[in-house]
Structure 1
Amino acid sequence: MTPEEIADLAHLRRARDLMDRDYAQPLDVPAMARAALMSPSHFSRKFAAAYGETPYSYLMTRRIERAKALLRQGMSVTDTCFAVGCTSLGSFSSRFTEVVGRTPSQYRADDHTGMETVPECVAKLGTRPRRRRAS
């Protein structure tokens, strides 16, 4: 790797850390690109090449990951939607269903008692949303 590529990865990691930390804040590609010290289009291309998904997709995966935890705790779907930084209940539900394979209401109604004794760090790995490929 060239020194420039290493520097780009460090800047991309800064933007990814921003998404991980501030997922509930209103973040858009220009804001994420500023954190990476790149133009929005350059940032989007570099991020997708480095992490295998677009910045928006990565952010939504983090939001859905947190939403799953809140729904397991019994929070309402509407409150969960806004708590994770989504502004549209319909868009949140559609994306949640696309990623998880169940609606937020169905997921919330599932029996999650087996997860109560699992350490949070393990639960996070086991319940991490996986993007399903369209066939």
Structure 2
Amino acid sequence: MQQIAIEHDLGTETKLAHRVIFPDPTITQIAHLLKGELLNQGLAGTLFAESLKNLLAVHLLRHYCESQPRSKKLLLPGNSLDAVKLKQIQDYIEDHLADEIGLETMATLVPMSQFHFARAFKAAVGETPHRYLTQRRIERAKVLLTVTKLAIAEVAYRVGFSNQSHFTAHFRKATGVTPREYRLQCS
């Protein structure tokens, strides 16, 4: 939260306003999402959790910060992803699909803060890093299901899913069919 505050000219001594009891549906929803992620350990869990962490930090700074920004920062050319940086990130993702890829890792490659990277990536690609990573994993899985005889659990592992059931759920959501059905259709 401190890093995001500094990047938005709130200073190094940013403090949140003290409130005794306050219902905040956004904080509650983020907490439920984090709890669900901890319990289910879904696809790209670290990336998703980091995104939720950034969302919570920005929400707290916007609504509960005692200091106000001195100026507004826009997404300037230095904070955007040019074609070379974007290609570097995309190549990294393709080369490490089976690994746990976090927002911090991707942001470090370009180098940017996680918050600015997530915004710049979405502006450049049209979707969040988490969604893009999931899509690339599904596309790689389609290729593996079509050209290999690997077990579906092995395909899931090779494209970075923690287990076959998570893989099947995401695959069905993206394609409308299970991996097995997809393989049969392509045979």
On whether the aligned pair clears a TM of 0.5, the verdict is yes
**CA-CA distance at 1:3 after TM superposition:** 5.4
Cα distance in 1 for residues equivalent to 2:127 and 2:184 = 30
Larger radius of gyration: 2
- Out of 95, 98, 103, the position equivalent to 1:21 is 95
Which residues in structure 2 correspond to 1:59-78 (within 5 Å)? 59-72=133-146, 73-78=148-153
Which residues in structure 2 correspond to 1:1-135 (within 5 Å)? 4=78, 8-9=81-82, 10-72=84-146, 73-112=148-187
User: Given residue 37 of structure 1, which amino acid in structure 2 is its aligned partner?
Assistant: P
Describe the shift of the 1:107–1:39 C-alpha distance in structure 2 as closer, same or farther (beyond 3 A): same
Aligned residues of 1:11 and 1:37 also touching (Cα < 8 A): no
Cα distance in 2 for residues equivalent to 1:42 and 1:90 = 33
Cα distance in 2 for residues equivalent to 1:34 and 1:75 = 34
Q: What is the RMSD of the two structures over their aligned residues, measured on CA atoms? A: 1.9
Moved more, 10-19 or 51-60: 10-19
If the length of structure 1 is used for normalisation, what is the TM-score?
Answer: 0.72
Give the unaligned 5+ runs of structure 1: 113-135
Cα distance in 1 for residues equivalent to 2:113 and 2:163 = 27
Post-superposition CA distance 1:72-91 (Å, at most 9, x none)? 12221101000111113222
Runs of 4+, deviation exceeding 6 Å = none
Describe the shift of the 1:57–1:105 C-alpha distance in structure 2 as closer, same or farther (beyond 3 A): same
Post-superposition CA distance 1:28-70 (Å, at most 9, x none)? 1111111121111211111011101111111111111111111
Cα distance in 1 for residues equivalent to 2:131 and 2:142 = 16
**CA-CA distance at 1:100 after TM superposition:** 1.3
If the length of structure 2 is used for normalisation, what is the TM-score?
Answer: 0.53
Cα distance in 1 for residues equivalent to 2:107 and 2:163 = 23
Give the unaligned 5+ runs of structure 2: 1-75
Q: Share of identical aligned residues, percent?
A: 35
Query: How many residues end up aligned between the 2 structures?
Result: 110
Cα distance in 2 for residues equivalent to 1:74 and 1:57 = 27
